[in-house]
Amino acid sequence: MLNIEALEVELDADAGIVRAIDGLNLCIERGETFALVGESGCGKSMTALALMRLLPENGVVTAGQVTLDADAAGSGPIDVLGLPERAMRAVRGRRIGMIFQEPGTSLNPVMRVGDQIVEAIETHTPLRGAAARAKAVQWLQRVGIPEPERRMNDYPFRMSGGQKQRVMIAMTLAAEPDFLVADEPTTALDVSIQAQILDLLRQLQREEGLGLLLITHDLAVVSGMAQRVALMYAGQIIEVATAADFFTRPRHPYAQALLRALPDMHRRGQPLEAIAGTVPPLWQRFDGCRFAPRCSQALPECAAALPPVQGAGPGHQVRCWLPVDRALPAPVSSLLATPPSLAAASQAGSQRQGAESAVQALLDVRGLHVSFPIRSGLLQRVTGQFRAVRDVSFQVAAGETLALVGESGCGKTTTGKAVVQLLRRVAQIEGQAMLDGQDLLTLQGSALHAARRQVQIIFQDPFASLNPRMRVAELLQEGLAALQPDLDGAERTRRIHALADQVGLRRDALARFPHEFSGGQRQRIAIARALAVQPRLIVCDEPTSALDVSVQAQILNLLRELQRELGVSYLFITHNMGVVAYIADRIAVMRNGRIEEQGPCSEVLANPQQDYTRQLLAAVPQLVHR
């Protein structure tokens, strides 16, 4: 279906020529799901942009060939890189569709979502007018958008992150492409909608022979979806195997380290095996293995010469100096031999289960209601109220982590923003949010300013939350200057350097702008900014959703370490049940603006009392091999 030969992509950056992709070879069959995995910044998204001819202005394909096979009508094959731009416009969307990593920046903010889907349908299919609109409604319904006919008239800013991702998927699939490039297609989705979208992709593959290049850091999704897997590091493919081989017989040390970095209930109370360091800058010259500086099994020759590509079995290739027939480390094989279910694993219990009632709450939320005005007509008069959060009550003790889980649009993020007082001018808020004896909902002026030193938030969309005109160092110093003005310049510089080291950013990244980073790297910057003023409570809104497995392990280790050293508390909003099982002390399950069930982590995961909670847990993808 798609053949990539010796692809090389270079970027002209201030630091020099960046070899973003170096000699990439891939062959994807018709109807196959091929997964491309690896750390943030290793070149996965750049590969997708090269296939679509959507490289940034400073990027160019310097070598290689991309061939797309003939379509059902018999036209083709197509040399994608050789097409003039006018002809390439017909290929984008119709022959090759793409689901972008960040739907918030991929959707037109001044167009209704329905008009954007209709535009894609009318551009790439014969349907027009009412027929195109009816198909758009049908696709919104298929991807799980409630009340699709009404939501057709909404603008992107009125939707949650997960709902915008579903709109992006609907717009891409509505053009019925032959081949689909999915760059983190389920990152912002809760587990139930994720399962629905993955089932939809499987159905399309069966019916249409749709080829799929799946770019993701969720290894559980890869194990359930992909037939073959390629592991990418620093612009190179270092291991290619069938999914079964990759998850049961990983040969490259990097692959083994990734699998050992996965969070679950078994690892509660223990640091995850995070990979030290970061992906090296790609403008430097590489003489040997690019992973060698971070590899615990490195040999002397690893730093001296480029490793050879070895065959480790049928269809299994590894770029490594280590012998491919060596014994595998026990932690990897034991993890994958008998993959535990969350319910069974949760019998390990919660560390705080017995003592939580004796700890005084740092945050005490009582009877929280949040309503947004519904406006209509030319003058946008208020015609009603949308109740996003209804009578929500919970407590977070000092040094405790409360996980707030539920489907996209259920009110999780609204609850977090209401607690931090970010909705005061746009919503009607009732109830109490007591932070150490002070009601955050009633604070004004200097009192509210002082309270912001105690409570911070990590936003779901890192790109939208970072000022595009400020460098990373300025972003990190801004909070320190506003909330800790007593610090001098030298102390601020020392602190931001320490923060960069803690979240896995190189020091040279401090002089760059947000648009120069990948999605996962931007999330690390957002986390560092929230940690800068050393708050007592952090509202974490999907803090690891944009991170790959190794960086997620670094961040979770960092959050646990800060909690142990500083006693910081977390209101952890997430849909990743593996992270919940690893880090949460208690869980609150939300649905339609209400809390359906809450309790200690071990009890809720092992013995859920509500049908909705059981449905959520049943939809969690498991790391299994077929």
Give the pLDDT mean for 615-623.
Answer: 80
Sorting pLDDT into bands at 50, 70 and 90, what band is 71?
low
Give the pLDDT mean for 430-459.
Answer: 89
Give the pLDDT mean for 207-228.
Answer: 87
Q: What is the reported pTM?
A: 0.75
DSSP state letters, 521-565: HHHHHHHHHHHTT--SEEEEESTTTT--HHHHHHHHHHHHHHHHH
Q: Which residues, 6 or more positions from 442, have their beta carbon under 8 angstroms from its beta carbon?
A: none
Sorting pLDDT into bands at 50, 70 and 90, what band is 329?
low
Coil/strand/helix, residue 58: coil
Q: Is the pLDDT of residue 335 over 60?
A: no
Q: Is the pLDDT of residue 463 over 90?
A: no
pLDDT value for 546 = 65
Coil/strand/helix, residue 402: strand
Coil/strand/helix, residue 599: strand
Q: Is the pLDDT of residue 476 over 70?
A: yes
Q: Is the pLDDT of residue 337 over 60?
A: no
pLDDT value for 344 = 46
Distance between CA 316 and CA 240 in Å, rounded?
A: 6
Backbone angles phi, psi at 54, to 5 degrees: -125, 30
Beta strands per DSSP E along 398-536: 401-406, 428-435, 438-439, 455-458
Distance between CA 522 and CA 44 in Å, rounded?
A: 16
Domains of the chain (ranges, CATH numbers): 2-109+176-226 (3.40.50.300), 247-266+273-311+319-342 (no CATH), 348-454+536-618 (3.40.50.300), 467-534 (no CATH)
pLDDT value for 540 = 92
| H-helix or E-strand spanning residue 316 | strand 316-319
Sorting pLDDT into bands at 50, 70 and 90, what band is 76?
low
Nearest to 173 by CA among 227, 121, 107, 102: 121
Distance between CA 252 and CA 38 in Å, rounded?
A: 12
DSSP state letters, 369-381: EEEEEEEETTTTE
Q: Is the pLDDT of residue 338 over 70?
A: no
Sorting pLDDT into bands at 50, 70 and 90, what band is 396?
very high
pLDDT value for 74 = 56
Q: Is the pLDDT of residue 31 over 90?
A: no
Q: Is the pLDDT of residue 519 over 70?
A: no
Distance between CA 557 and CA 481 in Å, rounded?
A: 27
Strands 586-591 and 569-573: unpaired
Which comes out higher in pLDDT, residue 141 or 104? Answer: 141
CB atoms under 10 Å from CB of 521, counted, come to 26
Sorting pLDDT into bands at 50, 70 and 90, what band is 366?
very high
Strands 78-79 and 59-68: antiparallel
Give the pLDDT mean for 364-387.
Answer: 88
Give the pLDDT mean for 570-588.
Answer: 90
**What are 148's strand-pairing partners?**
none
Q: Is the pLDDT of residue 339 over 70?
A: no
The DSSP call for residue 54 is -
Q: Is the pLDDT of residue 286 over 50?
A: yes
Give the pLDDT mean for 427-432.
Answer: 93
Q: Is the pLDDT of residue 568 over 80?
A: yes
Q: What is the per-residue pLDDT across 79-90, written as a single tens digit (0 to 9) for each? A: 999 999 988 988
Q: Is the pLDDT of residue 496 over 60?
A: yes
The number of helix segments (H) and strand segments (E) in the chain equals 23, 22
Helical H runs in 306-361? 330-337, 342-345
Q: Is the pLDDT of residue 353 over 60?
A: no
The fraction of the chain above a pLDDT of 70, given in percent, is 92
Provide the mean pLDDT of the chain.
85
The fraction of the chain above a pLDDT of 90, given in percent, is 37
Q: What is the per-residue pLDDT across 288-301, written as a single tens digit (0 to 9) for each? A: 999 999 888 888 88
pLDDT value for 188 = 64
Distance between CA 34 and CA 283 in Å, rounded?
A: 28
Q: What is the per-residue pLDDT across 178-189, written as a single tens digit (0 to 9) for each? A: 889 998 887 767
